Amino acid sequence: MVDELLSRNREWAASQCRENPHYFQDFTKGQQPEFFWIGCSDSRVPANVIAKQGPGEVFVHRNIANVVHSSDLNLLSALEFAVNNLGILKVLVCGHYGCGGVRASMESHDHGLADHWLEPVRRLGVKHREELALLEDDDARQNRLAELNVIEGVIRLSETPILRNAWERGIPIRVHGLVYNLGDGLLRDLECTATQPLLSGLR
Ligand code: CO
C-alpha cells in the first residue's frame, strides 16, 4: 500500500524540520549539486545513500547496468543540463558487482527489450572474451565485465560533443569510473578518470 510510504514520508519530513526548521525552504531556491551520478537502476545501489549525500547534493541518472549509449537522449539531456546549467565538474559512472544487467548480457537466453538495451555490454564481453575466459568462474567474469562497462562508459562520455565542447571552453570537468561492492558497501575508484576526450584527445 502507498499509505505506508506516505506515512514514512511524513515522518521523515517532520524529523528534518525538527533538526532544521528552514530545511525545506532552502530547496525551493534551486539546486547546486556537486556530482552528476550515472549508475545502475538496481535498488541496492542508491546514489545518495551509498555516497552519504543529502538532497540537493547529487544529480542522478540511472538505467539498467549503467550503460552509456552515445545516442541516449535521456542520459545526454541530463549530462547537458548538469554541465551547462548546473556547472557540475565531477561526473561519476558507477557500476556494481553482482549486476543483473551485466549478467543478462552474458547469458544466451532471451531477456526481451533488455537485450537491446544491453547490446553494448554484450559486445564489450565479446571484445574482452580472452581476458574474461582466464577468470575462475562466471561471477568473476561478470564482475570484471561490470568494471569494463564502467571504463567504456567513461570513454564514451569523454567523446560526447557536450564534454568535448566543455573541455574546449576550459571547464575542468573530471569523469570518474567507480565500482560498488554490494557485499561490503564500498566504492572503488577504477582509475580511468577522463579529463579530456580519451580516444581522440583535444582538437
Ligand atoms: Co546493476
Report domain extents, the chain.
1-30, 33-201
Q: Which helix (H) or strand (E) holds 39?
A: strand 35-40
The answer to whether residue 193 scores a pLDDT higher than 90 is yes
Ligand 1 centre and the CA of 100: distance in Å? 5
Q: What is the pLDDT of residue 1?
A: 84
CB neighbours of residue 35 within 10 Å? 19
Active site residue 188: no
Q: What average pLDDT does this structure show over 159-182?
A: 98
In the chain, pLDDT over 70 holds for what percent of residues?
A: 100
Q: How far is the CA of 54 from the centre of ligand 1 (A)?
A: 22
Q: Quick check: 91 pLDDT over 70?
A: yes
CA of 5 relative to ligand 1 center, distance in Å: 24
Q: Which pTM does this prediction carry?
A: 0.95
Identify the pLDDT of residue 133: 97
Residue of 12, 84, 88 whose CA lies nearest to 56? 88
Q: How many residues does the chain have?
A: 203
Whether residue 18 lies in the annotated active site: no
Angstrom distances, CA of residue 80 to CA of 36, 135, 162, 165: 11, 38, 6, 11
Catalytic residue flag (residue 61): no
pLDDT at 202 over 90: no
Query: Using CA atoms, how far apart are residues 70 and 14, in angstroms rounded to an integer?
Result: 42
CA distance 163 to 83: 8
Is the confidence at residue 56, as pLDDT, over 70?
Answer: yes
Question: What percent of the chain stands above pLDDT 90?
Answer: 97
Separation of alpha carbons 116 and 108, rounded Å: 13
pLDDT at 201 over 90: no
Residue 118's pLDDT is: 98
**Helix segments in the chain, DSSP class H:** 2-19, 23-27, 47-50, 73-80, 100-106, 113-117, 119-127, 129-133, 138-158, 161-168
Q: What is the mean pLDDT of residues 147-160?
A: 98
Distances (CA, A) of 144 to 23, 134, 156: 42, 11, 18
In angstroms, what is the span from residue 101 Cα to ligand 1's centroid? 5
Confirm whether 17 is a catalytic residue. no
The chain-wide mean pLDDT, for the chain, equals 97
Per-residue pLDDT averaged across 143-151, rounded? 98
Annotated catalytic residue, options 8, 17, 26, 44: 44
Q: Is 10 among the catalytic positions?
A: no
The pLDDT assigned to 41 comes to 98
**pLDDT given for residue 203 in this prediction:** 64
- Second CATH level (architecture) for the domain 33-201: 3-Layer(aba) Sandwich (3.40)
